[in-house]
A and B are shown apart, each in its own frame.
Chain A
Amino acid sequence: NFMLTQPHSVSESPGKTVTISCTRSSGSIASNYVQWYQQRPGSSPTAVIYEDNQRPSGVPDRFSGSIDSSSNSASLTISGLKTEDEADYYCQSYDGSTQVFGGGTKLTVL
């Protein structure tokens, strides 16, 4: 099995841009899609990125995703930060036998 490692927390000011990383421990990050979920306090998760860089309907284009094979990692970038973006963010991927979530990153917008 593999792991997805995320920073525990990040913080940035409103209007700025923040990037959250997600590093895959084994197996190629490019071999399987990476999804990203936002979970606001007290709410269930919602998808903000799927298939590495696709946005579900209704997700603003301030959210973008990418993968970097050289570092075997995926990234979620949020530009034009708003206070409503403050939440926990989880990356998720899979291999032939299991689905894995990253440990989550708490984003503080201050």
Chain B
Amino acid sequence: QVQLVEYGGGVVQPGRSLRLSCAASGFSFSDYGMHWVRQAPGKGLEWVAVISSDGGNKHYAVSVKGRFTISRDNSKNMLYLQMNSLRPEDTAVYHCANVHNDFWSGYLGYWGQGTLVTVSS
């Protein structure tokens, strides 16, 4: 049974940093690209970042480029999102999801329940 469990969210002041983690199980993690997608309270989905199965390809949304870094540790079946210089508009539930088929053109097959990040002073 596929499981994606995010953690590391919380309340943080603007300008500070936070690192999110996503623990994967029930599938061959090293074979799948992985995305982070966020959803502000009461709002729609917003793509954040993607990483290929071997970690060699990474892409970011314009809104987070230069501030967020996606990474993975295939030996631990873990996905990460390092978030620096946080802004109030980064407040959202952050979901990790695996990509079926190609890491860029594929679809997000399994999603975690998400972890809430609140950026507020």
User: Contact between B47 and A98 (Cβ–Cβ < 8 Å)?
Assistant: yes
Select which of A44, A101, A103 is within 8 A of B112 by beta carbon. A44
Interface size (B, Cβ < 8 Å)? 23
Q: Which residues of B contact A46 (CB under 8 A)?
A: 111
A104 to B40 alpha-carbon distance, docked (Å): 13
User: Contact between A50 and B95 (Cβ–Cβ < 8 Å)?
Assistant: no
Known: A98-B47, A101-B46. A44 touches B107 (CB 8 A): no
Q: Which residues of A contact B37 (CB under 8 A)?
A: 101
Q: Which residues of B contact A1 (CB under 8 A)?
A: 62
Known: A33-B105, A51-B107, A94-B104. A103 touches B62 (CB 8 A): no
A-B residue pairs in contact (CB < 8 Å), sample of 22? A35-B108, A37-B108, A44-B95, A44-B113, A45-B95, A47-B108, A50-B101, A50-B106, A51-B101, A51-B107, A90-B44, A92-B47, A92-B107, A94-B104, A94-B105, A97-B59, A98-B47, A98-B61, A99-B50, A101-B44, A102-B44, A104-B45
Interface of B is mostly: strand
Interface size (A, Cβ < 8 Å)? 25
Least CB distance, B22 to chain A, in whole angstroms: 12
Instruction: Enumerate the 6 nearest inter-chain pairs by beta-carbon distance, A residue then B residue, closest first.
Output: A50-B107, A44-B111, A99-B47, A104-B44, A101-B45, A35-B107
Least CB distance, B5 to chain A, in whole angstroms: 12
Q: Does A77 contact B (CB under 8 A)?
A: no
User: Contact between A56 and B107 (Cβ–Cβ < 8 Å)?
Assistant: yes
Interface residues of A in 9-39 (CB under 8 A from B): 32-33, 35, 37, 39
User: Contact between B111 and A56 (Cβ–Cβ < 8 Å)?
Assistant: no
Interface residues of A in 22-76 (CB under 8 A from B): 32-33, 35, 37, 39, 44-47, 50-51, 56
